């Protein structure tokens, strides 16, 4: 089928019927807000199965997937080794509530790949990981304030829900009702890539800041790489002021290399959070760091954190099967080459269509921002034409290409995307962008 023709030929009758039922029993018909497609319009997807780089909706429509479960599916959908490991473990038992050797094995794979993480605590979600890391930092330093960056998203714990990216940016929520003002006041928001603002925060709250938490590559306001010297500057500022540096690698961990992106960026955090890829598509996350900090966590120390399903054997088996595959030679190089082909091609198509836009990219991550100006922080990202992005999203979806249903998210290239997939995507983009340019008179 030509990219000039819509690929979603089948009526979405069954999907529509399922979503009608979902709205009666699920809040908004979804279990995470961005899935409702509120910022891009159109009908939310109802997915029935996935295979490799493709998703199939409840009506049998095939979609080329660049969302990849928000980055978790680096090895594609229904990866054979991961599926086999989960099935085998299901026969052995799905939850025990006590320690298994599987937890030790996955922790060992992670600490070997990230040597500056000496001890780990597994949890069930990225929100749990970041929330627990902040609690630990406060417990270690005996201070209350934290510094976070506008547009960075660290999950939905109360401390993080002000000027956050991801779903809040998508829905235009700056402050979240339900978060006590007294708690919100303990979170100091500063612009990403602005070391002077960080210095001012420390000067104004001398001896009171427990930690700085940061995405090393912002990916929840769309992809925004760190400016030269930004992360090393944070490392120096936190050390000088007796605060901890928490690097949130829920997205970037094992995404750009087999291990932490910090190795590439020349820093070492005191505490690091991980998620998504380390679970192979099954819910799991972790926080970890040097023993001197992690030993403050119960049962060794007084900072309490627990979880009934933490270290769940299904998740451990899936994570082990995933991380063992990420050691394949050239896997990351191949993903980067494909991602570059996609980004360079999209830039050319935007130019040919006469549409002003930026594409921020690093490794296998990228975001199209429909704005003529460079995007270096959340303020820049919010200048994007979200209506134009929504139109681009729908045009691409009509041609069987599933991009993030939000301007403020990332595109992910996986290890199972192919050059043919990228070429198909660029052909669809050519037609989509020309249609947008024609309608808007660009």
Catalytic residue among 276, 380, 385, 389: 276
Of residues 57, 66, 153, 378, which has the active-site annotation?
Answer: 153
Adjacent-strand bridge partners of 285: 123
Cα distance from N-terminal residue to C-terminal residue, the chain: 28
Catalytic, 423? Answer no
Active site residue 324: no
Is there a catalytic annotation at residue 276? Answer: yes
Tell me which residues are annotated as active site.
153, 248, 276
């Amino acid at each position: 089928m030509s990219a000039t023709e819509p690929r979603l030929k089948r009526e979405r009758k069954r999907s529509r019927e399922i979503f009608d039922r979902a709205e009666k029993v699920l809040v908004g018909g979804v279990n995470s807000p961005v899935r409702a497609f509120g910022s891009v319009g159109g009908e939310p997807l109802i997915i029935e199965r996935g295979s490799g780089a493709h998703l199939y909706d409840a009506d049998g429509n095939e979609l080329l997937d660049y969302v990849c479960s928000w980055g978790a599916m680096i090895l594609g959908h229904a990866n054979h080794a991961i599926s086999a490991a989960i099935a085998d473990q299901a026969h052995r038992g799905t939850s025990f509530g006590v320690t298994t050797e599987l937890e030790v094995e996955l922790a060992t794979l992670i600490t070997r790949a990230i040597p500056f993480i000496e001890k780990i605590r597994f949890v069930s979600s990225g929100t749990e990981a970041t929330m627990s890391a902040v609690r630990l930092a406060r417990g270690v330093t005996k201070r209350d304030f934290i510094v976070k960056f506008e547009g960075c998203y660290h999950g939905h714990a109360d401390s993080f829900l002000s000027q956050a990216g991801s779903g809040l940016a998508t829905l235009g929520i700056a402050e979240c009702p339900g978060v006590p003002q007294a708690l919100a006041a303990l979170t100091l928001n500063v612009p990403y890539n602005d070391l002077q603002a960080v210095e001012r925060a420390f000067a104004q709250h001398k001896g009171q800041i427990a930690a700085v938490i940061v995405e090393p590559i912002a990916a929840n306001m769309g992809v925004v790489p760190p400016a030269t010297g930004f992360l090393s500057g944070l490392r120096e500022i936190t050390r000088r002021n007796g605060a901890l540096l928490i690097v949130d690698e829920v997205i970037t961990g094992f995404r750009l290399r087999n291990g932490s992106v910090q190795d590439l960026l020349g820093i070492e955090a005191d505490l690091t959070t991980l998620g998504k890829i380390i679970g192979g598509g099954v819910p799991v996350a972790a926080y970890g760091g040097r023993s001197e900090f992690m030993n403050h966590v119960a049962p060794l120390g007084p900072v309490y954190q627990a979880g009934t399903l933490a270290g769940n054997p299904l998740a451990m088996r899936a994570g082990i099967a995933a991380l063992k595959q990420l050691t394949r030679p050239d896997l990351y190089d191949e993903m980067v080459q494909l991602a570059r082909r996609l980004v360079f091609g999209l830039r050319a198509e935007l130019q040919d269509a006469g549409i002003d836009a930026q594409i921020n990219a690093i490794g296998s991550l990228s975001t199209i921002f429909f704005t003529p100006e460079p995007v270096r922080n959340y303020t820049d990202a919010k200048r994007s034409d979200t209506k134009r992005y929504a139109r681009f999203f729908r045009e691409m979806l009509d041609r069987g290409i599933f991009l993030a249903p939000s301007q403020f998210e990332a595109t992910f290239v996986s290890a199972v995307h192919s050059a043919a997939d990228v070429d198909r995507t660029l052909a669809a983009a050519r037609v989509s962008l020309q249609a947008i340019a024609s309608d808007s008179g660009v």
